[in-house]
Structure 1
Amino acid sequence: MNPVALLLLSFSMSADAFSVAIGKGASLKNPRFSEALRMGLIFGIIEGITPIIGWLIGNSAASYVEAWDHWIAFTLLVALGMHMLYEGLKPDDDKTDSAPRHSFFKTALTAFGTSIDAMAVGISLAFIEVNILLAAGLIGLATTIMVTLGIMLGKVVGSLFGHKAEIMGGLTLIAIGAWILFNHL
C-alpha cells in the first residue's frame, strides 16, 4: 500500500471518532486541552490497536468477524447514544453542575464502538501486503489528532447549544451505528 493511500486510510478511519468527539466535547462543561488530549489518546490507542487485532483475526478467522463486526458496532454505539440521549433529556435539576471529564470506561467503550470498523480494515489488510504496525500507528495518530480537535470544537458547539448538545452527541452515535449497520447489510 502506498504512503498516500495509507494516510488517507488513517484519516478516513478517524472520521467517525471525530464526529463522536464533537458530541462529547459539547457535553463537557468547559473542556481543557489536557482533557481533550486525554480523550484523544484513549481513542487513538484503541483505534490503533483494533486494526492489529483485525489483522491477526484476518489471518485466522475472517469470515466470522466480518459477519458480526457491524452488529457489534451498531449495538455499542446505539446503547451509548441512548445513554447520552437520556442524560441530555434529564431535567436540569438532576444534572450535576460540574462534570469535569468523562470516565475512562465510558470513553474507552465509545472509542471501541467507533473502532470496530478499524478492526474490519485490519482484517482486509491481512490479505494485502502492508506493514500493519505502520498502518495501525498512523490510524492511531490520526484518530488522536482528530478526536482532540473534535473535543475542542465541541466546546464551541456546546456553548452555542447548551445542555441539548449531549442530545446531538447521542443522536450522532446512533446515526454512526446505523450507518455502519446499513453499509454492511
Structure 2
Amino acid sequence: MQILEIFGIAVALSIDAMVVALCWGAVQPTIKASHILKFSLVFAAFQALMPTLGWFAGGALYSLISAWDHWVAFLLLFFVAVSMIREAFEKGDDNEECECRSMGSDIAWGKLSMLAVATSLDALAVGFSFAMVKTPIAMPAIVIGVVCAILTALSMLAARVLSEKAARHSKKLSLLGAAVLLLIGLRILFEHGVFA
C-alpha cells in the first residue's frame, strides 16, 4: 500500500475526531494549549492503537481466510465507508449546530477516552484489512496517529472560525472519506485480478 493511500485513509479516519474537536472548541470561552495537547494525544493514541489491534486480529485469522483475503479487505473498507455514509445522513441537516455544550469546559480524561474510542472504531476494521493485504502495520499506524493529532490540533485552533462551517459540511466530509475508502478497496480487488 502506497503512502498516499495510507495518508488518505488517515485523513478519512480522522474526520470524526476533527468534528468533535471543532464542536468542543466552538463552545469554549477559551482554548488553552493544554486542551489542544490533551485532545490531540488522546485521539491520536486511539487512532494508532485501533488499526494495530485490528491488524493483529487479522494476522491471527489470515491462514483461515487467505484465499479470500482481498475480498475481506474490500468488504471491511466497504463496511467502514457505508458506516460513514450512514452517519452522514443521520447527522440531519447541513445547518445543524454542534451539540458539545454538555462536555464541559475541561473535559475529563475518561469522557475524552470514550469519545476517542467511539471515533476510532472504524480504524479497527481498517487495521484488519491491512492484515488481509499483508501490509505491515507500524508505518500506517504511526501515520494515522500523527495525521489525527495534527488535524485534531488544527481543528481546535480553528474552532472559533470554522466550527459553524465544519458543522454545515460534516456530511460532505464524511461522504468524501467514504469515497476514499471505497476507491482503495476497489484498487485492492483490481490488483488481485477480480476485474480481469
- TM-score of Structure 1 vs Structure 2, range by shorter chain: 0.5 to 0.7
Does the 8 Å CA contact 1:54/1:119 hold for their aligned counterparts? Answer: yes
Q: Aligned to 1:96, what secondary structure does the other structure show?
A: coil
Q: Aligned to 1:92, what secondary structure does the other structure show?
A: coil
Does the 8 Å CA contact 1:73/1:114 hold for their aligned counterparts? Answer: yes
Q: 1:69 aligns with which of 64, 69, 73?
A: 73
For structure 1, the residue ranges without an aligned partner over 5 or more in a row are 1-7, 126-134
Does the 8 Å CA contact 2:127/2:137 hold for their aligned counterparts? Answer: no
Task: Report the TM-score, using the length of structure 2 for normalisation.
Answer: 0.65
For structure 2, the residue ranges without an aligned partner over 5 or more in a row are 26-34, 104-111, 191-196
Structure 2 distance, partners of 1:75, 1:42, is 20
Q: 2:9 aligns with which of 16, 19, 24?
A: 16
| Structure 1 pair 59–157 and aligned structure 2 pair: CA distance change class (3 A) | farther
Partner residue in 2 for 1:106: 118
Partner residue in 1 for 2:183: 179
Structure 2 distance, partners of 1:110, 1:69, is 13
Q: 2:96 aligns with which of 82, 92, 96?
A: 92
| Structure 1 pair 136–18 and aligned structure 2 pair: CA distance change class (3 A) | same
User: Following TM superposition, by how much is the alpha carbon of 1:52 offset from its aligned partner in structure 2, in angstroms?
Assistant: 2.9
| Structure 1 pair 97–49 and aligned structure 2 pair: CA distance change class (3 A) | closer
Task: Report the TM-score, using the length of structure 1 for normalisation.
Answer: 0.68
Structure 1 distance, partners of 2:52, 2:96, is 37
| Structure 1 pair 117–84 and aligned structure 2 pair: CA distance change class (3 A) | same
| Structure 1 pair 40–145 and aligned structure 2 pair: CA distance change class (3 A) | same
Does the 8 Å CA contact 1:73/1:113 hold for their aligned counterparts? Answer: yes
Query: CA offsets, 1:129-172, max 9 Å, x none?
Result: xxxxxx43443233221211122234467633242242233112
Structure 2 distance, partners of 1:10, 1:51, is 17
Does the 8 Å CA contact 2:76/2:126 hold for their aligned counterparts? Answer: no
| Structure 1 pair 114–83 and aligned structure 2 pair: CA distance change class (3 A) | same
| Matched letter for residue 37 of structure 1 | L
| Matched letter for residue 118 of structure 1 | F
| Structure 1 pair 39–97 and aligned structure 2 pair: CA distance change class (3 A) | closer
Query: CA offsets, 1:90-118, max 9 Å, x none?
Result: 6537x524265673453232222443442
Aligned length: 166
User: Following TM superposition, by how much is the alpha carbon of 1:34 offset from its aligned partner in structure 2, in angstroms?
Assistant: 1.2
Structure 2 distance, partners of 1:9, 1:181, is 13
| Matched letter for residue 167 of structure 2 | H
Partner residue in 1 for 2:53: 49
| Matched letter for residue 185 of structure 2 | L
